[in-house]
Amino acid sequence: MSESWPAAIPRDYKQLFDEYGDFIAYTCQRYGRQDQAPADLLQYTWERLLHVDVLNKYVSCLTTNSTMPDTVSTLEACALLGVGFGAWRSAHWSYQVIFKKVLGGKAPVGAKNRGMTKIRGLRVRCKLCKGAGTMQEVPCSKCKGEGQAGEIRGERWVLWMPEPLPVDGKPVGPVSSKARFKTKQVIQLAEMGYFKGICVNLPTPTATVSHFKNYLRQCIKNHFANWVRTNSRRHKERPADMFAQFRDPDGEGFNMEDRIVDTNSTGRMEATVDIARVMGRAGTDELFQHKEGLLDLLGEGYSLAEAAKKLGLSSQTRAAVQRALQSMT
């Protein structure tokens, strides 16, 4: 092992077994049930961990993943710039609402990449009564009960903000949890001067015990899925006559499907008897014409009255069916 090997990561598989053996056994027990041979699963997991050389693979992933991703989410963009979510949301509101809609996407003459505007003419709220009157319900002497002072409020605008990438071909909002932004564009905001005390924090993965355990847990989960698929495939490829359930007392194999009773056919026989009795009491031409359709719906679980209604039989025929059913009970 090189001298740059992380101190928190085992240097060989004996150390891995001593320090993380109980953790690996517990994780296998969580994913596998009692009827799935946990001892076989544990043995298979260790075999796969050794085969893929999980220690060197993990350390190499630390070096590979040190590069920046192509896109970041809203919260990742805030963490990257070292700003709060409120500042990010305020900047996007200044761009989407004030600059694009109020100013029409054109900066005032002589302005830079940001500034203030009073074009909407919104008045400042009264600082004395906060726009909600006084406790004695007496009109405020400053705003005379209007809740607003005389001066016009200035609103901030910014020239540019990163636009979120579309998701499944549909646009999303800039503060949505699904929003993703290009990392290069987010880093460019550091040069715009929108935020105070901005500091680009380039993330670098750190080899810690918790990080390595999460990596091991995901590896075990993937190996468990492969183990289940392999066992399921082998079970399907086994001949049926090797199981005692598929052999008669003489040891001869048989097809289990031949001994299964078709509940649909049984229900259809009972339904045929019922509909024959109804036709005998309330038999109409329309009822005889739709006999097969009634039998099919009865086999699906519909009652005779529901089947007649679903087939769109006339009200006279449905009434005759109801009378016949009542006389049979």
92 touches 81 (CB < 8 A) = no
The separation between CA 202 and the C-alpha centre of its own chain, rounded to angstroms, equals 28
For 206-261, write each residue's pLDDT tens digit.
778 888 888 888 888 888 888 878 776 665 555 555 555 556 556 565 555 555 54
Q: What is the pLDDT confidence band of residue 203, given thresholds at 50, 70 and 90?
A: low
1-22: pLDDT as tens digits: 556 788 888 989 999 999 999 9
Q: Which helix (H) or strand (E) holds 29?
A: helix 13-31
Residue of 186 and 309 predicted with greater confidence: 186
Please report the DSSP string for 3-23 in residue order. Answer: TTS-TTS-SSHHHHHHHHHHH
Q: To the nearest whole number, what is the mean pLDDT of the chain?
A: 77
Mean pLDDT across 191-198: 80
Residues 6+ apart with CB under 8 A from 217: 27
**How many Cβ atoms from other residues are within 10 Å of residue 83's Cβ?**
20
Tell me what the mean pLDDT of segment 84-88 comes to.
Answer: 89
65: part of which helix (H) or strand (E)?
none
Whole-prediction pTM value? Answer: 0.43
What single DSSP character describes residue 151?
A: E
Q: What is the per-residue pLDDT for 312? A: 81
Domain ranges in the chain?
71-184, 263-328
Token reading at 39: 């001892």
On whether the CB atoms of residues 64 and 72 are closer than 8 A, the answer is: no
The SS3 call for residue 40 is: helix
Q: Averaged over 69-85, what is the pLDDT?
A: 86
